[in-house]
Amino acid sequence: MAQFTLQERPGFSVSAMLSRVGSSIYAVLINMAEARSHAKQIQFLQSLSDEELKRCGLSRDRIVHHVFAGSVWRI
């Protein structure tokens, strides 16, 4: 009869690995939500007339810059 034991490698932790996976999934979901929000903002602003944009202090060519101005780009 064969016997074996399961040994973790030094420096390896199942709980740490699961924590990293969970953090990665959370980060992806947050990024997706932010992207959706930005897309909705851009779509709304593009639907406004040039006069309405002017009243908001925007021009059509600056919409994307305005929407992403407060964003922090993550690599």
**Band (9; pLDDT cuts 50, 70, 90):** low
Cα dihedral sign for 38, 44, 50, 51?
negative
- Across the chain, mean pLDDT equals 86
pLDDT score of 26 more than 90? yes
Alpha helices in the chain (DSSP H): 14-47, 50-55, 63-68
Question: Which structural domain range is residue 39 located in?
Answer: 21-68
Residue 8 DSSP class: P
Whether 1 shows a pLDDT value over 90: the answer reads no
Residue 54 within any structural domain of the chain: yes
Q: Is 57 left (phi over 0), alpha (psi -120 to 50) or beta?
A: left
Residue 16, in any domain of the structure: no
Give residue-wise pLDDT tens across range 33-43: 999 999 999 99
pLDDT on residue 75: 43
Count of domains in the chain? 1
For the stretch 40-69, pLDDT in tens is 999 999 999 999 999 999 999 999 999 988
Spatial contact of 27 and 52, defined as CB atoms under 8 Å apart: no
